[in-house]
Structure 1
Amino acid sequence: MASLNKDTSADEPWWARGQEAEPTPVGCCSVCPVASGCPLRSESAVRCAVTGDQPPPPPPGIAPDLAEAVAETVSWADVTVAVAERAPNRDDEGNDVDWGRLQPVRNLLSIAVVNFVPIGGTTAARWVADSISSGGITAPVLAPLGFVLAGTGAVFLGQLVPGFPAVVCELAWKALVHTGRGLVRLVRSPRGWIITRPALWAAGIGVLIVSWRAVTHFLTGAS
């Protein structure tokens, strides 16, 4: 009996050699690195349903995790586009969504003013931060309020002094009243954002500056 391990290929006639069955054709999706996330993949497709061409095989030595990550990225991109297309274009009250309500021009202009326009040697945002650092969170409000009350109180009481100072204080009081009424009308008008919006941004950015200083002090151990 011939050995089971004997190679019998040499005994085969020459015309029978090389007649092995051809491999079954494999679809182009089998070599596509993002096939797992493609909703149009097909095991029998010979051309890509997305690009119209057969995709190239993955680079040699490509990690399976990288191919899966790419596939997940493609899937999440498709989901994001689908959600954006199906997002409601009306609010809870049935009104059309108006992105202009964010008022980017006003906000950006206010941010630029409080950060770059110098006022008394500093900027509004930095003044708020310095006031909070030296006097507490209420200092940016109480310090200007105290200055205004002290000035108006002195002018009001000056009207009771006899002589020329009373005349000067009376004129100054009328000017203060007129200016105060004008500021109130301006704040309540459509142009009131010129005052209120920079004030809000100065307060918010000032708090952020103080917080950043505290974080930097904690991380670096500065004295």
Structure 2
Amino acid sequence: MSVIPTLDMSRCPTYGEVINIPARYVVKHPARLTFEQAAASWMQYVTAWGALIAQGKLSADDFVIVSAASSSVGIAAIQIARSVGATVIATTEEDLATRVRDITNGKAARVVFDPIGGPAIAQLAECMSFGGILLEYGALSTDEGTFPQFALLGKCLTFKGYLYIEVTSSDELLERAKAFINEKLESGALVPLISRTFEFDEIREATRFLESNEQVGKIVVTVD
């Protein structure tokens, strides 16, 4: 069994040898996973699934832009998008609009998954196709940027703020997320990335490593 992070982690903490979690957040993970892999799975995959699949309706015909693609949620988003056959574009180019047009043969991207915000929103809007949706799940930029009203109107775009709790607060969505993620974990389409594993008595070192922001993938603490 493994645990999906709850709505309120201050009331249901998991920083301990014994934890008390509501049953709806407990899931039986595929036997092919190690417990370390299972512990590294749920937060990022549930987050990405809720945006890309539940709200973005991502399919094999789609191009999707994933910002901050090396983050744990970014990596999960790439894996989920590929698992349904979509084409992923990670944002690294300075002239993003031109590069996206080249990659998509002029079609542009229908779905954008972004945690940065600020000036990036206007740039991303230029890369989107008619009727596209931008799902904003963070605000890493401290600048507000310019609102792209002409792109929004001209292409009938949808800009939506998105939070992980939209999935975990809904019984129906949470069960759908569990089923999708477990199926993809079982098939090997989703492979949780672990940056580093610590023993429980190394919890301080694990926390310092987390605070360093040097990790690519999840940090796992094991209990014997």
Tell me which interval the TM-score lies in, with the shorter structure as reference length. Answer: under 0.3
Which structure shows the bigger proportion of residues in strand conformation? 2
Larger radius of gyration: 1
Which structure shows the bigger proportion of residues in helix conformation? 1
| TM-score using structure 2 length | 0.20
| TM-score using structure 1 length | 0.20
